[in-house]
Amino acid sequence: MLTKGAVEDIIMRHLRPPPGEAVPALKKVPGLKKKVFISDWELRRLYKPGARMVGVPANAIVSPLSLDWLDYDGIQIIYG
């Protein structure tokens, strides 16, 4: 049976390069903008009662819970 310390050692061995090895540089993707996550609470603040649409930024990621209540109420999301 593995102990908590043994599991941590295994994980760290795969996350950290061995001593003396260089850390690989992460590639940057040109034109990739930071995504904005919109939680249920934030989307409810954006929503105007009685409206059939709600606007969010074009690069937004909307939470699954928000998508559920919007779909249930028949509200459309407008990106942009």
- Residue 50 has a CB neighbour count (10 Å cut-off) of 5
Give the mean pLDDT of 50-71. 89
The three state secondary structure string of 40-65 is HHHHHHHCCCCCCEEEECCCEEECHH
Question: What pLDDT band is residue 60 in, cutting at 50, 70 and 90?
Answer: confident
pLDDT of residue 1: 72
pLDDT of residue 52: 92
Domain ranges across the chain:
4-79
Flag whether pLDDT at 18 surpasses 80: no
Flag whether pLDDT at 15 surpasses 80: no
- Whole-number average pLDDT of the chain: 79
Percentage of the chain modeled with pLDDT above 70: 75
Percentage of the chain modeled with pLDDT above 90: 6
